[in-house]
């Protein structure tokens, strides 16, 4: 147990300091600088040792290399409340009118990968990458968001993906990543929901809790024609330990498993020195009770923490990603991308999702790689996700409306070393 906590502390210190993704729900729009520069498209075309985050089979084609990078990420989150009554009736839950912005709008998120090509088409690698997303911090002014002082949550997730890949035939590869996951969570300012909780002492303001878990990701990537590549990958649900300090908040007594995910993509090189990529990603948020359970009627039928306890009410997401890459010269490569996925929060779920406003839909990206030698290259990426708002009625405050809003910008740089 001491070893597990020491490993987690070391990993999070070096790989996951204050992560705060909230792009496609709470998954990043792309993993690694190269992939993110094409809006996350890359299931069929892998180019660095972070590839296992998207498709473990792609590690068979990246050769022996090591990659490390750092992303600057800036989400701008706020909510606005309109309407209400001077004397709220018993049994209602009105919020103070006005606009409130979340603090903490600048984060640094590293990533790391290593891959070694072996004999007979085999490769062994390791990809380390991060998620986050439910990161909000609202001030305690005017009593705080829910009338209990400073309010917010913080979710951080770390993935360690040791990967075996095998090019079993010319241009055809399979890959397997037994995933190790670590996550930590904290909630503040939810005391006034105690009457709805199965365990009010394990609802809020209990500091940071952590949990380990595991799962599996498998994939195929291959050449279909001289100019067309394709790829498929599937990640299982990652079975996580419960957050015991928050078993009165999350369904299944603190359960917070990580949803399964599907990726499919093609990459076409029919124009000289150019690649055009198209990916489709599907994330099954609704299968995780603590994420997918709706607020109503669940809040009135089962206590928070129960299997049917209220959650964030997120729908599944399907994201379409389009990427372009131009090999201008042997040393210089340029990239661009755009992705769209309908955000997962229904209008009627805005109250709880003040805590987790993962409403982004569009992402516009650009990037480059410059080779300084046969062994060393530097890649860069920048993205913009325009402001998206979701507006709905307060389900516990008739006549009051809540609007969630967020915009994002970010940039990353990484160094690749081939050996």
Per-residue model confidence (pLDDT) at position 21:
47
3-state secondary structure at position 241: coil
Q: What is the DSSP string of 165-208?
A: EEEEETTEEEEEEEEEEEEEEEEES-GGGGGGBS-GGGSS----
Per-residue model confidence (pLDDT) at position 351:
97
Does the model's pTM come out above 0.85? yes
Where do the H-state alpha helices sit in 246-317?
Answer: 251-254, 289-292, 298-301
Q: What kind of fold does domain 2-418 have according to CATH?
A: Porin (2.40.160)
Per-residue model confidence (pLDDT) at position 7:
44
Residue 340 to residue 319: CA distance in whole angstroms? 6
Per the rule left: phi > 0, alpha: psi between -120 and 50, beta: everything else, 119 is beta
Q: Where are the domains of the chain?
A: 2-418
Per-residue model confidence (pLDDT) at position 133:
53
Instruction: Measure the CA angle with vertex 360, ends 81 and 320; round to 5°.
Output: 150
Output the tens digit of pLDDT for each of the chain's 419 residues.
444 444 444 444 444 444 444 589 999 999 999 999 999 999 999 999 999 999 999 999 999 999 999 999 999 999 999 998 888 888 899 999 999 999 988 888 899 999 999 999 999 999 999 985 568 999 999 899 999 999 999 999 999 999 999 999 999 999 999 999 999 999 999 999 999 999 999 999 999 999 999 999 999 999 999 999 999 999 999 999 999 999 999 999 999 999 999 999 999 999 999 999 999 999 999 999 999 999 999 999 999 999 999 999 999 999 999 999 999 999 999 999 999 999 999 999 999 999 999 999 999 999 999 999 999 999 999 999 999 999 999 999 999 999 999 999 999 999 999 99
Residue 203 to residue 246: CA distance in whole angstroms? 5
Per-residue model confidence (pLDDT) at position 134:
63
Best CA proximity match to 85, nearest among 75, 94, 76, 73: 94
Longest dimension (CA), the chain: 75
Per-residue model confidence (pLDDT) at position 233:
98
């Amino acid at each position: 147990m001491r070893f597990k906590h020491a490993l987690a502390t070391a990993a999070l210190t070096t790989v996951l300091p204050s992560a705060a993704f909230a792009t496609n729900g709470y998954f990043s729009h792309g993993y690694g600088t190269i992939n993110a520069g094409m809006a996350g498209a890359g299931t069929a075309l892998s180019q660095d040792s972070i590839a296992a985050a998207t498709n473990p089979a792609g590690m068979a084609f990246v050769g022996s290399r090591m990659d490390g990078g750092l992303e600057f990420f800036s989400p701008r989150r706020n909510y606005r409340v309109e309407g209400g009554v001077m004397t709220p009736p018993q049994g209602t839950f009105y919020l103070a009118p006005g606009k409130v912005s979340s603090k903490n709008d600048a984060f640094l998120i590293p990533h790391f990968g290593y891959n070694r090509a072996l004999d007979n088409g085999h490769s062994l690698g390791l990809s380390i990458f991060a998620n986050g997303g439910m990161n909000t911090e609202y001030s305690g002014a005017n009593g705080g968001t829910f009338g209990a002082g400073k309010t917010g949550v913080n979710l951080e997730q770390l993935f360690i993906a040791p990967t075996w890949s095998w090019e079993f035939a010319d241009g055809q590869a399979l890959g397997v990543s037994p995933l190790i996951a670590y996550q930590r969570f904290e909630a503040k300012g939810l005391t006034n929901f105690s009457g709805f909780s199965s365990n009010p002492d394990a609802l809020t303001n209990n500091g940071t809790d952590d949990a380990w878990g595991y799962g599996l990701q498998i994939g195929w990537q291959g050449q279909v024609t001289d100019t067309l590549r394709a790829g498929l990958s599937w990640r299982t649900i990652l079975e996580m330990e419960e957050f015991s300090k928050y078993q009165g908040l999350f369904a299944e007594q603190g359960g917070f498993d990580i949803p399964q995910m599907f990726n499919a993509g093609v990459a076409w090189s029919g124009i000289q020195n150019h690649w055009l990529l198209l990916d489709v990603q599907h994330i099954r948020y609704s299968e995780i009770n603590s994420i997918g359970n709706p607020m109503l009627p669940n809040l009135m039928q089962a206590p928070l923490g129960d299997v049917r306890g209220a959650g964030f009410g997120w729908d599944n997401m399907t994201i379409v990603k389009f990427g372009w890459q131009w090999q201008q010269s042997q040393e210089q490569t340029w990239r661009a991308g755009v992705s769209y996925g309908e955000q997962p929060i229904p209008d009627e779920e805005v109250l709880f999702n003040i805590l987790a406003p993962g409403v982004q839909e569009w992402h516009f990206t650009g990037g480059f790689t410059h080779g300084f030698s046969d062994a060393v290259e530097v890649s860069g990426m920048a993205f913009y996700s325009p402001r998206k708002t979701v507006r709905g009625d307060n389900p516990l405050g008739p006549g009051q409306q809540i609007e969630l809003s967020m915009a994002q910008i970010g940039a990353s740089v990484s160094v690749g070393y081939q050996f």
